[in-house]
Amino acid sequence: QKEVEQDPGPLSVPEGAIVSLNCTYSNSAFQYFMWYRQYSRKGPELLMYTYSSGNKEDGRFTAQVDKSSKYISLFIRDSQPSDSATYLCAMGYQAGTALIFGKGTTLSVSS
């Protein structure tokens, strides 16, 4: 079993839809949970960062971490065509160490 599992999609939704992206993980030692957005042939861009469990909201984006279930989610409200990209979840054991990434989910939002 891989450390981080993420459904690669693709996921296609109409503009304005609520999008739910998810990752599961196997190692309970992860403490830091991130979501990155990556456009084609570009480096990842940090969207959301959560330490330990709980929810975090930033504009149209909400990140949730459920450590008991080893499950994290990213919700995008009122999705826009500009949200079309690959979304990568990433996790870390401690500050200053490298991240373990999921495969990424490709999202397409149609207008």
Partner 1 sequence: GAVVSQHPSWVICKSGTSVKIECRSLDFQATTMFWYRQFPKQSLMLMATSNEGSKATYEQGVEKDKFLINHASLTLSTLTVTSAHPEDSSFYICSALASGGMMDEQYFGPGTRLTVT
- Residues found near partner 1 in the complex (CB under 8 A): 4, 6, 8, 32, 34, 36, 41-46, 49, 51, 88, 92, 94-104
CB of 7 to partner 1, least distance (A): 13
Helix (H), strand (E) at residue 35 = strand 32-38
CB-nearer residue toward partner 1: 17 or 31:
31
CB-nearer residue toward partner 1: 56 or 70:
56
CB of 104 to partner 1, least distance (A): 6
Asked if residue 63 lies in contact with residue 54, where contact means CB atoms within 8 angstroms, the answer is no
Q: Distance between alpha carbon 91 and the CA centroid of its chain, in Å?
A: 10
Cα separation, 107 vs 8, whole angstroms: 9
CB of 92 to partner 1, least distance (A): 5
Asked if residue 106 lies in contact with residue 46, where contact means CB atoms within 8 angstroms, the answer is no
